[in-house]
A and B are shown apart, each in its own frame.
Chain A
């Protein structure tokens, strides 16, 4: 490393070739990954962005012409899109909040050693390994009163007035995919938060309890500040990821009933594969991408601002 040569304080003269080789090292290490990402993701992305300005319909051989901003004009009038946008907010907000909350509690429960912790940890993290569409199929089965127990349990508990399928109830349908998503996503938060918890130096807690700090005070003044960076980055990543995550909704409700569970990502899927209108689908995807980028920038700027304030 050229950098290290300056760094150790001794002015070492090194052959030119070696300097060039050292300078190229990081690029060589990252080149294979970079080339693959550019050819398989960035180039198709650029192509996909260009589709947003073209009339691309899969079964229509006369399509393909540039039509400028027509898709976006149509989109601004599309009531189904606005409904999908509102549903996305609800779907993402509820899923991330519940996954985070339950994941944090689970991480705290697993933080201290106890008999059987290894086994408990392996079992509670298991849903993460279940393929998402299989999780969706399975949960729609569980919510079905003919073959699933959940409606009957809800009825017995008095939550429901009769054992019916919440997936076909327009008021409640969104809860189906949200519950499946929470079940599936708790392990992600629990794993990352548990890792962050275990990195907190133990003597801090001892010192605090010698000073007479109670458990709540220790949590607020030690645990939470240490976890804050991890919490910020995982919530950011998960929010973006869950807004794009349509598998469960497509498998469980297909956007229904009456579009009540249609989120933007599943709306894109419907446009592309049911109506085969790739141009319009790309335009919607581009708007979603812009919104998510804006959201991420906002979080990053907010974080910088908070850090600089300290």
Chain B
């Protein structure tokens, strides 16, 4: 009777370890390539750790490339997008969660439609619309586009967090004379902080990774975000994998930090809202 639980527990821990190994091994390899000096890159290509590790690629990327500029641009774009999307999605998510109104059905249908088509289709039209406004080759233009792309999913996410908060709370406040907006701001929003954190992190990582529109809307190096910058390592004379991977490792840091902090809230919040169809 006692042997069975121990066996089960061991199997469970081993399975968890297998998942962790699968999740982390590619990231480990990224780091390994980034610290391998160029002369060993191919000769020790398949060793688990190079006989000589060095930080020369990191040093080069940080001091002699435009990477710090890309990094700053990405930080500005992703940060602004995350904040604006979260504000807009809190408002619209609250509307979907708390009100029954004509047009609600159409709003949801519209938001679902935006998830359906290949965004490639929008590149040329968006370029045509933003160009006369002076919003191409500008970080502002990029923030506007990313905000629009991320608002629908963020709205559904925020709605599920609001659904998890009992309605009586703001009804009680409104009986005490508060308007609904005041009740929303002072009572409901503070309770949704985990949801807000989750949405912020979710949108930040999405904007941080976006390549296509950044590639198409930005032409100058001084406005480029880091995915575009990374590709510039490829388009030089030869692909400099060491430097590229070093830049990749550096670029992973903020996204991963953000994600490690918020993943707990993501699960909690979705639990509270009891994600249902």
Once bound together, how far apart are the Cα atoms of A48 and B126, in whole Å? 9
**Does B251 interact with chain A (Cβ within 8 Å)?**
yes
Residue of A nearest to B91 (CB): A29
In this complex, how many residues of chain B approach chain A with their Cβ under 8 Å: the count is 92
- Residues of B within 8 Å of A121, CB to CB, are 263-264, 267
- Residues of B within 8 Å of A41, CB to CB, are 114, 122, 148-149
Indicate if the CB atoms of A32 and B116 lie closer than 8 Å: no
Indicate if the CB atoms of B263 and A229 lie closer than 8 Å: no
Indicate if the CB atoms of A26 and B115 lie closer than 8 Å: no
Indicate if the CB atoms of A147 and B95 lie closer than 8 Å: no
| Nearest CB of B to A197, in Å | 8
- Residues of A within 8 Å of B30, CB to CB, are 134, 138
Could you tell me which residues of chain B, from 190 to 240, have a CB within 8 Å of some CB in chain A? Answer: 205, 208-209, 211-212, 227, 230
Indicate if the CB atoms of B91 and A32 lie closer than 8 Å: yes
Residue of B nearest to A117 (CB): B16
**Does A133 interact with chain B (Cβ within 8 Å)?**
yes
Known: A26-B95, A131-B255, A292-B117. A272 touches B124 (CB 8 A): yes
Known: A26-B101, A33-B89, A268-B121. A296 touches B116 (CB 8 A): yes
Interface class of chain A by DSSP: helix
Indicate if the CB atoms of A130 and B275 lie closer than 8 Å: no
Known: A36-B88, A37-B148, A118-B264. A30 touches B121 (CB 8 A): no
Partner of A34, one of B12, B26, B107, B212: B107
- Residues of A within 8 Å of B230, CB to CB, are 133-134
Indicate if the CB atoms of B271 and A199 lie closer than 8 Å: yes
Partner of B99, one of A25, A109, A286: A25
| Nearest CB of B to A122, in Å | 5
Interface centre among B99, B118, B151, B266, by most chain A C-beta atoms within 10 angstroms, is: B118
In this complex, how many residues of chain A approach chain B with their Cβ under 8 Å: the count is 94
- Residues of A within 8 Å of B24, CB to CB, are 123, 126
Could you tell me which residues of chain B, from 12 to 57, have a CB within 8 Å of some CB in chain A? Answer: 12-13, 15-16, 19-20, 22-24, 26-27, 29-30, 33, 41-42, 45-46, 48
- Residues of A within 8 Å of B100, CB to CB, are 3
**Does B67 interact with chain A (Cβ within 8 Å)?**
no
Once bound together, how far apart are the Cα atoms of A1 and B211, in whole Å? 43
Per-position 1/0 for B86-109, Cβ under 8 A of A: 001101101110111101100100
Indicate if the CB atoms of B121 and A282 lie closer than 8 Å: yes
- Residues of B within 8 Å of A51, CB to CB, are 124-125
Indicate if the CB atoms of B122 and A123 lie closer than 8 Å: no
- Residues of B within 8 Å of A240, CB to CB, are 115-116
**Does B260 interact with chain A (Cβ within 8 Å)?**
yes
Interface centre among A32, A41, A138, by most chain B C-beta atoms within 10 angstroms, is: A41
Known: A123-B23, A199-B274. A149 touches B46 (CB 8 A): yes
| Nearest CB of B to A247, in Å | 7
Indicate if the CB atoms of A124 and B20 lie closer than 8 Å: yes
Known: A122-B263, A191-B270. A146 touches B42 (CB 8 A): yes
**Does A66 interact with chain B (Cβ within 8 Å)?**
no
Indicate if the CB atoms of B256 and A36 lie closer than 8 Å: no
Indicate if the CB atoms of B29 and A29 lie closer than 8 Å: no
- Residues of A within 8 Å of B270, CB to CB, are 191-192, 195-196
**Does A303 interact with chain B (Cβ within 8 Å)?**
yes
Q: With A268-B118, A268-B121 given, can you name 20 additional A-B contacts, CB distance below 8 Å?
A: A26-B101, A30-B107, A37-B110, A37-B152, A40-B145, A40-B147, A40-B149, A44-B125, A47-B125, A48-B124, A114-B12, A122-B263, A183-B22, A183-B26, A192-B270, A195-B270, A233-B275, A241-B115, A285-B117, A285-B121
A–B pairs, 26, beta carbons within 8 Å? A22-B180, A29-B91, A32-B92, A40-B126, A40-B147, A44-B126, A106-B19, A122-B263, A123-B24, A124-B19, A125-B23, A129-B258, A133-B227, A134-B30, A138-B245, A138-B248, A186-B23, A191-B267, A194-B267, A196-B270, A199-B274, A240-B116, A281-B120, A282-B121, A289-B121, A296-B116
